[in-house]
Amino acid sequence: MNAAAPVGSFCLDRVTWDRLVEHARSDHPYEVCGLLGLRPDGGFEHYLVPNAERSMTYYVMEPRALLRAMREIEDHGYGLAIYHSHTHTDAYPSQTDIQLAAYPDATYLIVTLQDWDRPDIRAFTIVDGEVREKLVVVRDRPVHAPDPVA
């Protein structure tokens, strides 16, 4: 299944991009996973959730850590991004990723380490099995940071 034309964009600041890549590398060659709480000010809360299966080809979020993170995200009214890594393949949802996508309002991020020296992050919506890509925009400073005074 190929992604259709991009639908909107997903902004990451450089610090968050780097943290996602660092997390992906931290347990290589195994996939990692976690959540981002999308704050109203455009910033992020980062929730590292252990991959209960510690697999090189799929992830299963550890249930207790996932529940804690989801409760905090809901309690604060944050938006939701769900991420995981692909250690040896492209940053595109696998059939398993598509079948298990249970949050139609979430953005799904995939960090690829297929080329260790050039990691990449792609963003998608997955609704009823339909994958739509979002353009990932990376900013050098936090999205919510004020513009520097000249």
- Whole-model pTM: value is 0.89
Q: Per the structure block, which two tokens stand in for 132?
A: 């739509």
Binned at pLDDT 50, 70 and 90, residue 144 comes out as low
Question: For residues 49 and 65, is the Cβ–Cβ distance under 8 A?
Answer: yes
CB within 8 Å of 89: residues ≥ 6 apart: 112, 114
Would you say residue 139 has pLDDT above 60?
Answer: yes
Name beta bridge partners: 34. Answer: 48, 83
At 48 the three-state DSSP class reads: strand
Tell the burial category of 93 from Cβ atoms under 10 Å away from its Cβ (0-12, 13-18, 19+). Answer: buried
The CATH code belonging to domain 9-133 is 3.40.140.10
Top-ranked range on mean pLDDT: pick from 4-13, 68-77, 137-146: 68-77
Q: What are the extents of the domains in the chain?
A: 9-133
Mean pLDDT of the chain: 91
Least reliable range by pLDDT among 4-18, 45-59, 99-113, 122-136? 4-18
Pairing of β 9-13 and β 130-139: parallel
Q: Could you tell me the pLDDT band of residue 79, with boundaries at 50, 70 and 90?
A: very high
pLDDT at 5: 47
* Angstrom distance (rounded) from CA 100 to CA 94: 10
